[in-house]
Homo-oligomer: A and B are copies of this chain.
Amino acid sequence: MPQNISIVENILNANDRLAEENFARIEAAGVFSINIIASPGAGKTSLIEKTLPLLKGKLRVAAVDGDIATSIDTDRAAAAGAAAAVQINTGGDCHLDAVMLRGALDQLDLTQFDLLIVENVGNLVCPANFKLGTHKTVLVASVPEGDDKPYKYPGTYRGVDALVVNKIDLLPYVDFRMEYFTQGVQVLNPNVTTFPLSCRTGEGLEAWVEWLIEHSKK
């Protein structure tokens, strides 16, 4: 079906061009931006919720939340202290794309912020194929998902700039071999910055917050 394939390629190319436009716009406003991807329930929203209070008085943050339905995440981000929170309902789509982010950027005065946090749809596969135009892509893994995830989702693990390993407080209660997990990550993405942490207990959050501050102040 060469016709279908060429249409898919056109869509991805068009998305990449729009992602470049988004990037130029974010960059021109002097904002540092991240695209957070993860499986459903790994803790994207919890991470944002726990991070925002720690950035209070240090960075002005805008949050963009992608979801198939509901505005639960945006409500949580706003309650946690985001200076602005924009909801994207994808209407069933399994990922954000550059067009959707452009629509969200249209609703923000970017010059008012230091950091833009984009929370993608909960999905470990599809979001990896659609660039949005952010500076960094952050993958949130979580301990109860299991230590084999880098081996099973290599494309996603390969393409990210930072890796949060959430829910380390559950390590005593699940069969998760950190060494096996780390080995898989190392093979795919040797230079990825990794933050083991627990959104529940707060352990390890400082290093993650420092990383955000450091990049936002450049």
Interface set of A (CB-CB < 8 Å, partner B): 3-4, 7, 11, 39-41, 67-70, 72, 92, 94, 121-126, 142, 144-146, 148-149, 151-155, 167, 169-170, 173-175, 200
Contact = CB atoms under 8 A, between A and B. Distances in A.
A151 B70 contact: yes
B123 A124 contact: yes
Given A69-B154, A142-B144, 17 more contacts: A7-B7, A39-B39, A39-B145, A40-B153, A68-B125, A68-B153, A68-B154, A69-B152, A72-B148, A94-B123, A122-B124, A123-B125, A125-B126, A144-B170, A170-B170, A170-B174, A173-B173
A198 to B, nearest CB: 11
Contacts of A145: 39-41
Nearest to A129: B92
B123 A72 contact: no
Contacts of A146: 41
A139 to B, nearest CB: 11
Contact of A41 (B69, B125, B149): B149
A40 B68 CA distance: 17
